[in-house]
A and B are shown apart, each in its own frame.
Chain A
Amino acid sequence: MIKGSFGNLGKALSLFLALLILAVPILAQQTSQQQAIIEAEKQAKQDTNKTLWFIIGFFGNVLGLAAGFLLTPNPPATALLGKSSEYAAFYTETYQKKAKSIRGNNALYGCGTSTALWIILYVAVFAAAASTSPYYWY
């Protein structure tokens, strides 16, 4: 019975070690991917001037908004130096998406703010004109 228990324990241990050997490269790859995504998002945030894109959206309106979502800054060349191919792939993809997202969203906020201000101005002017007009508006 004891011999049987040791045998089962041995089998379980062997299976565990086999799974561990198989899992290590998978886990390492996932770590590399995660690291690439984290670094790319961080770099994209550093490289993108939110205030500038808000202003572009504010004054550029639809064109500014389009530019925000379409244009992408260059990634730093050193970011990929000495990095694995998996890292490079995930980094470039994430950097593009994040930079465009930050730019586009801030341009959108600027564009939206500009539009809202125009509407307020229009309503104010219309109201002022209506209050001073000798005609009755029905």
Chain B
Amino acid sequence: MEAKIQKYLLKIILSISVWGLINTIGIQHSFCQIINTISVEFTREYSEDNTKEIIKGKIYYRAPSKTVIKVENPIYQWTILEGKEMLIYYPDDKKAFRIISTWNPFSMPFFQAFVGVVKEDYGLTELGYTLANYEIKEDTLISHWNPPKNLSKFLGEFILEFKDNKIIRVELRNAKGKTLSKSLYKNHILYGATYFPLEVSTIKYLKSGSTFERIVYRNPQFNSSLPLEVLDFKIPADIKVKEVKW
């Protein structure tokens, strides 16, 4: 049960959803787009309590479920996420870890917020959410979604805001109506019929305080060839991989 809740929370908080409600209210939105690969540079700034960390690198994505993250600063690190396996490799230290999940597949939440816009069902209906109501304020569409019934005691409504077919704000609330997280999306880039946000800022409200995360993406490449070092990534044979089962 907890694994299921975690799966829902993870996808909800970090997925961007645009739904066919746009079609429901009569706005034309062409969404038949296939993304096979994405490569994009990123800078992730994360603040919690009085600490702040900045990570820079490049993300490579190959549909349907392989994500490779090459961190270049502050440390040289490769992270490969594929299904229920996460591989972390440190070339300079000649160390590697393989983490195998028993329950849920691994994903990189902040990147989900970038790539999630291409999902045909836009994430929420797949999770069991249902459209409760919507409103249009000038050129902004605000939709309110109710959680699945079996999770309604834990999760509250999910609010999406769109302006000119671009996702601009997302808010997740708990069952008591308290905000759990808020995300703002800026600097969109158009590829095909989809607007991808190049800047995503998220505040999460925890019992112990709050966290702030800001991701800035640069030079996105869609459906282009990925480098061989990514496609054929392998840990060198002389490196002993420490396996961790969860």
Measured CB to CB, the residues of A under 8 A from B are 42, 46-49, 52-53, 56, 71-78, 80-85, 88-89, 92, 96
With A47-B6, A85-B95 as known contacts, state yes or no: A77 contacts B246, CB within 8 Å.
Answer: no
A47 to B10, CA, bound (A): 11
Name the residue on A nearest B71 (C-beta): A82
Cβ contacts under 8 Å, B242 to chain A: 89
B210 to chain A, nearest CB (A): 13
B147 to chain A, nearest CB (A): 16
Residue of B3, B44, B79, B109 touching A73 (CB-CB under 8 A): B3
Contact with A along B207-224 (1 / 0, CB 8 A): 110000000000000000
- B118 contacts chain A at the CB level, 8 A cutoff: no
With A73-B3, A81-B79 as known contacts, state yes or no: A92 contacts B99, CB within 8 Å.
Answer: yes
A74 to chain B, nearest CB (A): 5
Cβ contacts under 8 Å, A74 to chain B: 6, 101, 103-104, 106, 246
Q: Other CB < 8 Å A-B pairs besides A56-B1, A88-B88, 16 of them?
A: A42-B208, A46-B207, A47-B6, A49-B2, A72-B246, A73-B2, A77-B79, A77-B81, A77-B106, A81-B55, A81-B71, A82-B55, A82-B57, A82-B74, A82-B77, A85-B97
A30 to chain B, nearest CB (A): 17
B131 to chain A, nearest CB (A): 28
Task: Decide if A81 touches B69 in the complex (CB within 8 Å).
Answer: yes
Name the residue on B nearest A45 (C-beta): B208
Cβ contacts under 8 Å, B101 to chain A: 74
Name the residue on A nearest B99 (C-beta): A92
B85-119 interface with A by 8 A CB criterion:
86, 88, 90, 93, 95, 97, 99, 101-104, 106-110
- B206 contacts chain A at the CB level, 8 A cutoff: yes
Residue of A46, A80, A84, A89 touching B206 (CB-CB under 8 A): A46
Cβ contacts under 8 Å, A76 to chain B: 109
24 contacts between A and B (CB under 8 A): A42-B208, A46-B206, A46-B208, A48-B2, A52-B1, A72-B102, A73-B6, A74-B104, A75-B246, A76-B109, A77-B79, A77-B86, A77-B106, A77-B108, A78-B46, A81-B79, A82-B53, A82-B73, A82-B74, A84-B90, A85-B93, A85-B95, A88-B88, A88-B97
